C-alpha cells in the first residue's frame, strides 16, 4: 500500500470498528433495559388491572414476541430513523426527544465555549512556564478538580451560589429566560459544574502535548538560536502540537456525555438526560433505549473523532 494512503486506510478501519462497536452497544442497551424490574403493562394499567387486561395490553404492545425478534425490529427502525412510540405518552419518541435534545445541545455548546478557551490558555501557559509557580498552581488545581466527581461539584455550586450567596437560581427549569442576563443566570450553574471537570482534563492533556513538542530537537534548536520562550512555544511548538491538542479536546468533551446526566438531574434541567431519568421511573422502554443510544452515539463519535485526528496528525503516517 502506498505510504500516502496508509492514514486513510487506518481511518476507514477505525470507522468500521466504531460502527461494529455501535451495533454491540445497541445490543447491550436493548437487553439491559429488558432486565429492568417490573412489567410495563402492569405499570401502565395500574394495580387494579385484571390479568386478562394485562395480557391483552402485552399482546397489543408486542411484548410477547421473542426478545431477539424485537431487538432486530428495533435496530432496523433505528437505522431508518424510527425511534418507536412511547409506552406512557403514546407519542413518537423522536417528537419527545427533539425539544429536549436542543436543550442538551445548547448546554453542551455553552460548556464548550466556556471550557475550551480557558483550558487551552491555562494548558499552554503551564507548558510555556513549566516548573514555575503558575505551573504548580495550575497542576494542583486540576488534580484537585479531577478528584472531585461531577455530582459533588454540582452540589457545592448549589450551596455556594444559590444558598449562601443567593446569586443564582438553584434550578434551571421554569426560570425566566426572556432577557440575556436571566438566561445567563439560568445556565450559569450547569455550565460551571460541567466546565470544571472537562477543563481540568483538557488542561492536563494540553500541557502534556505542548511539553512533548517542546522537547523535540527542532524546538530546542530554535531556543539555542535565541528565540524567546513565547516565540518558541507559539511559533514552533504549538503548530506541531495542534493534532494532539485537538485529540485532547475531543477526548475531554466526551466527558460531557456522562457529566450531563448528573448535572441535568441535579439542576432539573429539561434535557435528554432528565428525560431518560424520568422514563426509567415509568419503565418507558422505547424512550429509555433511544435516549441511551443518543448518549452512546455522542460518546462514540467524539472518541472516534479523537482517534481520526490523532491518525491524520501523526507525521510518521504521512
Find the CATH number of the domain harbouring 161. Answer: 1.10.3720.10
| Contact by Cβ (8 Å): 255, 198 | yes
CA distances from 139 to 51, 115, 126, 178 (A): 62, 16, 8, 40
Write down the number of H helices and E strands in the chain. Answer: 15, 0
Report the C-alpha gap between 70 and 75 in whole angstroms.
9
Residue 128 belongs to a domain: yes
| Contact by Cβ (8 Å): 103, 110 | no
Residue 49 belongs to a domain: no
Burial of 274 (0-12, 13-18, 19+ CB in 10 A): buried
Which cell numbers in the block locate residue 149? 466527581
Residue 48 belongs to a domain: no
Q: What is the pLDDT of residue 137?
A: 92
Residue 239 belongs to a domain: yes
Residue 87 belongs to a domain: yes
Task: Quickly count: other Cβ atoms within 10 Å of residue 115's Cβ.
Answer: 26
Q: Which domain holds residue 247?
A: 3-36+83-317
Report the C-alpha gap between 111 and 199 in whole angstroms.
10
Q: How far apart are the first and last CA of the chain?
A: 13
pTM of the model: 0.77
Q: What is the pLDDT of residue 4?
A: 62
Residue 50 belongs to a domain: no
Residue 69 belongs to a domain: no
Task: Quickly count: other Cβ atoms within 10 Å of residue 59's Cβ.
Answer: 12
Local confidence pLDDT in tens for the 318 residues of the chain: 565 667 777 888 888 998 999 999 999 988 888 777 766 777 777 777 777 887 887 777 777 788 888 888 888 888 888 888 888 888 888 888 887 888 888 888 888 898 889 998 999 888 888 888 999 999 999 888 888 877 788 888 888 888 888 787 776 665 555 666 767 777 888 888 888 878 888 898 888 888 888 887 777 777 777 777 777 777 777 777 777 787 778 777 777 766 677 887 888 788 888 888 888 887 888 888 898 888 888 888 888 887 887 777 766 655
Domain count within the chain: 1
Report the C-alpha gap between 243 and 306 in whole angstroms.
9
Amino acid at each position: 500500500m502506498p505510504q500516502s494512503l496508509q492514514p486513510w486506510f487506518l481511518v476507514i478501519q477505525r470507522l468500521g470498528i466504531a460502527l461494529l462497536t455501535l451495533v454491540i452497544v445497541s445490543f447491550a442497551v436493548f437487553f439491559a433495559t429488558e432486565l429492568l424490574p417490573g412489567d410495563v403493562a402492569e405499570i401502565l394499567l395500574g394495580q387494579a388491572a385484571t390479568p386478562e387486561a394485562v395480557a391483552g395490553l402485552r399482546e397489543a404492545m408486542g411484548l410477547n414476541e421473542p426478545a431477539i425478534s424485537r431487538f432486530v425490529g428495533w435496530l432496523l427502525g433505528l437505522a431508518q430513523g424510527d425511534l418507536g412510540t412511547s409506552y406512557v405518552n403514546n407519542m413518537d419518541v423522536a417528537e419527545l426527544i427533539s425539544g429536549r435534545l436542543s436543550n442538551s445541545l445548547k448546554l453542551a455548546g455553552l460548556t464548550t465555549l466556556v471550557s475550551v478557551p480557558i483550558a487551552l490558555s491555562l494548558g499552554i501557559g503551564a507548558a510555556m512556564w513549566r516548573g514555575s509557580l503558575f505551573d504548580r498552581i495550575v497542576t494542583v488545581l486540576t488534580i484537585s478538580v479531577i478528584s472531585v466527581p461531577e455530582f459533588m461539584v454540582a452540589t457545592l455550586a448549589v450551596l455556594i451560589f444559590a444558598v449562601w450567596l443567593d446569586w443564582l437560581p438553584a434550578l434551571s427549569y421554569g426560570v425566566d429566560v426572556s432577557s440575556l442576563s436571566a438566561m445567563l443566570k439560568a445556565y450559569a450553574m450547569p455550565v460551571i459544574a460541567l466546565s470544571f471537570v472537562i477543563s481540568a482534563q483538557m488542561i492536563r492533556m494540553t500541557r502534556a502535548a505542548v511539553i512533548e513538542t517542546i522537547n523535540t530537537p527542532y524546538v530546542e534548536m530554535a531556543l539555542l538560536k535565541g528565540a524567546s520562550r513565547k516565540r518558541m512555544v507559539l511559533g514552533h511548538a504549538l503548530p506541531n502540537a495542534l493534532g494532539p491538542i485537538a485529540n485532547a479536546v475531543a477526548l475531554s468533551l466526551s466527558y460531557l456525555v456522562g457529566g450531563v446526566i448528573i448535572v441535568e438531574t441535579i439542576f432539573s434541567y429539561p434535557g435528554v438526560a432528565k428525560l431518560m431519568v424520568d422514563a426509567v421511573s415509568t419503565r418507558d422502554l422505547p424512550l429509555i433505549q433511544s435516549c441511551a443510544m443518543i448518549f452512546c452515539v455522542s460518546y462514540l463519535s467524539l472518541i472516534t473523532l479523537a482517534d481520526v485526528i490523532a491518525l491524520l496528525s501523526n507525521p510518521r503516517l504521512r
